[in-house]
Structure 1
Amino acid sequence: MTTALITGASSGIGTVYARRLAARSHDLVLVARATDRLNKLAEELRTAHDVTIEVITADLTDTAQLNLVAERLRADPPIDILVNNAGAGLSGGFANANPVALENLLRLNSLAPTLLTAAVLGGMLKRGHGSIVNIASALAILPEYADGIYAATKSYVLTMSQSLNAEVGQQGIYVQAVLPAATRTEIYERSGGDISKVPDVMEVDDLVDAALIGFDRKELVTLPPVPEEADWNAFEQARMVLARGFMNAKPAERYRS
């Protein structure tokens, strides 16, 4: 029996991950701010699947509460799967952004998954196995499509996943970055948006089911709405071609005049 810890488990993507992983007979640790929702979900899953469910109420933008979750990740029973799902959006661009809101978004979308990953990684490496799932966004590679820093926070999550895979992927640790496009969750309403104005919205159940197929296939990057895997492979190949240019010790000719 393995145990998965899911952040942002009280709604949307996190809730569906909880249901799907419980159905796979994983014990769960559910983390979110909404205690009532977490308890209701925990009771549902205990009844339906006879699994052990822990509930941790935590606001991951608060350092003390984030540390409580990090402590659980270092404790027993060990966490075999970490799903870094908790995240938020922020409407508007840089010009009129509230500095506190910017900091909170960075804390939730970027700092929290970083510190939680660091907390769980040591134990996984000692045991020689473990999985870390990071929910990023298609905007990680399409920053022009979003105002403000949301895309940047998700680009960080993608880059962190790729870097972590390069570091520990050969030591029994599986890392997956999931890049949803528009998905029917509460993030739009919470950030002041209107999902009814967004075209081609994927249902959250479809998104998670696709992400879990990518998980089972051990994909590093899973892009549920992208029809052709070859398109992502071509993108990665182009990136490696560009990288060859970084090996030059002199500036390119076009920068010498």
Structure 2
Amino acid sequence: MRRAALVTLFVVLLVGAFAMAKLLLRDRVAVTAVATPPPIITAEPLTLKPGQEACQREVPVDTTTRVVRIYSASPVPDVPRLRVTLRAPGWSQEALSPPGPGRGTGSDGIYDTPIDPPRRSVLATVCASSAGDRPAILAASLEDRVRARTKTLVDGRAIEPRLGIVLLEGPSRSTISRLRTVLDRAAFFQAPIVGWFSLALLLVLVVVAVPGAAVYATLRALRDDEDAATRR
């Protein structure tokens, strides 16, 4: 009985430790803002001829934003580079998507264009255009479930398809490598006394103290059962 209980407890703790390690060590894309979600089911191709520009206004750009993600709807991987422009009062950026082929170059269906973040959070107008002499075919959406703060503009004219634009912190990173940022954001809407350090202590309590208490309670219960059996 004692051995079976200990083996069961060990297996439960091992599975829990594996799940926690997988959660903390798995690489994830850190999103800072979603101007317009990408198409969920069906992409509506938005073709931008050379010289045309698709824009969206009032896009929140955070001080941690380092990548602008726009989705390609090209049927072939041979795509032109994308020119991405961000404009806000007192700040502007212009950048080119990485040359392809490769990850984040548009050849894989995603343009990940690196930018330098602003010194303070701003509401910017984000624009995209073909950087080559060929049209850029981008992924927009007409789906009702895809909502945006403002409409997509092509050369200043509002259109119905909504261009998917997502802002990221940068390349995929593990949760544990940006744990301080995660805790800071979790504490943002809490009382001032609840800072990242308080949440870190709570996390340690949950990860270490709770399993430790479970082990102690199990061993104590087994010992009490043995003592009761001995007295009989």
Does the pair score TM above 0.5? no
Higher helix share: 1
- Normalised TM-score (structure 2): 0.23
Task: Compare relative contact order (CA 8 Å, sep 6+) and give the higher one, 1 or 2.
Answer: 2
Higher CA-based Rg? 2
